[in-house]
Structure 1
Amino acid sequence: MSPRRNRRDGGPDERPPGGGAWLERTEDGPDGEWIVRVVSGASAVKAYRCPGCDQEIPPGTGHLVAWPADVGSIEDRRHWHQPCWRARTRRGPTGRRF
């Protein structure tokens, strides 16, 4: 397992609403390499469905956005509760497609 590293691509969505800074890193795991972005509660303005537990992440709740490092498409990004992200390799799928 290689160490985590910050990635600064300078892409169009480098800063969240309100001008704050994204906290983004690359993670290697048994399920591949992922880009993981921390979303603060203040920046979370929409509701999302967590693929780990299939429960809603309500607006104002801090969470993670993750997508495969080898895929740059916005359609591949998923919003996760932090504990669900950490447990993703220890539990089965929820029945929803990631």
Structure 2
Amino acid sequence: MVHLLPRDRDRDPDAPAPPLVGFIVARTVGNAVVRNTTRRRLRHLVRPHLDRLPAGSLLVVRANPPAGTARPDDLAADLESALDRLLRPASKGRR
């Protein structure tokens, strides 16, 4: 699950702020080793997509319990699909 939030730039509106990414990996994903491994895998998978995010935005990636046992290519496909849905322009007929 991913959420994107644009940030207000009160301090210096002319300076381009990089996007920030946070990860939520709960205990339901697994023990500490599994959670840290999942967080590292997600961080590695998000890195190439940072240029797609709006400047100054906040992205939160929440790992669901199956993420702890997911194969790397499945995790990458799920993340890419979620980012594509999130960054797709909204159609005029949908709200």
Q: With the length of structure 1 as denominator, give the TM-score of the two structures.
A: 0.25
Q: With the length of structure 2 as denominator, give the TM-score of the two structures.
A: 0.26
* Higher helix residue share: 2
Larger radius of gyration: 2
Q: Which has the higher contact order (CA 8 A, sep 6+)?
A: 2
